[in-house]
Structure 1
Amino acid sequence: MEQQKTRMSMDQIPFDKLEKVGINRDLIQKMEKQEMTDFLNGFRSDKLYTVNAKINGEDYRIPAKIRLQSNEDGSVGIKVHPIQRLNIPDEYMGHKFSKEEKGALLNDKNLGKTVELTGRDGKKDNYYLSIDSKTNEMIPLRSSYIQIPEKIKGATLSAEQKENLAAGKKVTVEGMTGKDEKRFSAALQIDAASRRIGFSDFKQEKQGQSETAKQEKSEGKRQGAKQSVS
């Protein structure tokens, strides 16, 4: 099986630096495949790890996410992301937040749209923004990173649903199928923190419910067309 390419390799993981922050080598080696792939790509860990920290001169063990950081000299370091107090700044990466945007980030943990931000290289691009639910960090994600699929959990997305998802909006999708083969509906939205399409507001559908809804919608369109002709 061909190994998935990543920004960094297993050989580059600085286990000595990990152990200095209090993370045992075994914890890293036991990462699941997707978690390891994300880790080697420099993304924040999905899990919280207990790390060493010095606060006001005292030694503590605190929960934090970790990630690999590639340095300019070619070395690889460890970046620690501890839990912090949720705070929405007035300005972030060159964008000044409106009152409504701050409210969306505080209440929904998601901006709900794409916004133009300025990267470290000075280049502007469209980003999604959301709050990491475990650390309260604000996480940007380039909109080009996410590709909206034709189907999600067996449900075919309409052109409007795909457009709204790509725009960062929350979209309700019906007729999806879970691992237990049961149909369900849910609200979908791109989550910059997890770099994936997130699911919320799950509702189990009765058997045949989604098909009936589609038939009624189709029948309504046909009747409307007949009335307009007559």
Structure 2
Amino acid sequence: MDKKQAIFNENDIPYKELELIGISKKQIWSLDKANITALLSGKRTCLLDLSFHDNNGEEISMKGKISLYWKDSNNAGVKIHPVRPEIMNDINLKPKELERLQDNEIITKTINNEKYLVQLDPETNELLKTKIKSISIPSNIKGVELDKQQKETLKSGKELILNVDKEKIAIRLDLNNPRGIKFLDFEQQQKIAYDRHNPQIIGTIHTDKNRNEYIEYMKGQKTALGNESQSKVEHKFKL
């Protein structure tokens, strides 16, 4: 088996590298099951408090997510996904595409002649990308057998409405979710759609409990990190 395609096991976790960014073995195993599963699957964890010293010995503290990857030496390494003050548009997205991503949509984008799904992680401002041809949709979700058209709907990043136990549920691929699929509240989605199509109405029907918290944190990141500190992070960890 190609090790680069394998799931990580506990013995692969590079604790020494984690210690360099202020994360102990105890802290790793204090994470909940969902985050442990995500880490061992090569996916990203939740936001963590990270700290390290730059090449001049200056200590830098920041928030970020981490994931594991295979090095050429067949040893696991740690990748940092820092909270960025702005979206790093490294795939030349148009303003309208960026707006859609900021509106929690998934878009399709051709990159180097390959079709990708692209989604924004609102916590880090990272653009998440996956090849459409590599996406595998399960045949059964919540006891409902999916036909070919329903699978294609999900594979294109669109929402799919299912009738489960006489109730409607909305599901969609979610590149932020370790499971890869997000279950949405159907009524909430209807309210969000109403807000989106009625911008002239003051106020919103739905609420995002974390929105203000992240806005305040992002403002702090701009002040605390600044362009110089952000450059140090990117240079040191080759982000």
Query: Do both share a fold (TM > 0.5)?
Result: yes
Matched, 1:200 2:184: yes
Corresponding letter in the other structure for 1:202: F
Shift of 1:18: 1.0
Distance 2:126 2:32 in 1: 24
**Identity rate, percent:** 28
What displacement does 1:130 show? 0.4
Contact 1:130 1:139 in 2 (8 A): yes
Deviations 1:191-219 (A, max 9, x none): 22326122224349xxxxxxxxxxxxxxx
Summarize the Cα distance change of 1:51–1:99 in structure 2 as closer, same or farther, 3 Å threshold: closer
Q: Could you tell me which amino acid in structure 2 is paired with residue 48 of structure 1?
A: L
Q: Deviations over 1:65-96 (max 9, x none)?
A: 1112322233332221121124262x51xxx4
Listed as ranges, the matches of 1:31-70 within 5 Å are 31-32=31-32, 35-45=35-45, 47-53=46-52, 59-70=59-70
In structure 1, what is the Cα distance between the partners aligned to 2:72 and 2:21? Answer: 22
Whole-Å Cα distance in 2 between the matches of residues 167 and 109 of structure 1? 11
CA–CA distance in structure 1, aligned partners of residues 159 and 144 of structure 2: 16
Report if the CA contact (8 A) 2:49-2:61 is conserved.
yes
Which residue pairs with 2:21 in the alignment?
A: 21
In structure 1, C-alpha distance between the alignment counterparts of 2:88 and 2:18, rounded to whole Å = 30
Looking at secondary structure, tell me which structure has more strand per residue. Answer: 1
TM norm structure 1: 0.65
The CA deviation at 1:30 is 4.0
1:185 aligns with 2:168: yes
Q: Cα distance, 1:158 vs. partner?
A: 4.7
- Alpha-carbon deviations, 1:7-53, whole Å to 9, x = none? 433222211221121111012234455543432343222x1111104
Q: Tell me the amino acid that sits aligned with residue 159 of structure 2.
A: K
Larger Rg over CA atoms: 1
Q: Which residue of 1 aligns with 2:149?
A: 160
Deviations 1:101-160 (A, max 9, x none): 22211222422xx33323xxxxx4322110113212100012234322333223344543
In structure 1, runs of 5+ residues without a counterpart are 119-123, 178-182, 205-230
Distance 1:159 1:14, change over 3 A: closer
Q: Which residue of 1 aligns with 2:231?
A: none
Structure 1 or 2: more helix by fraction: 2
SS in 2 for 1:169: coil
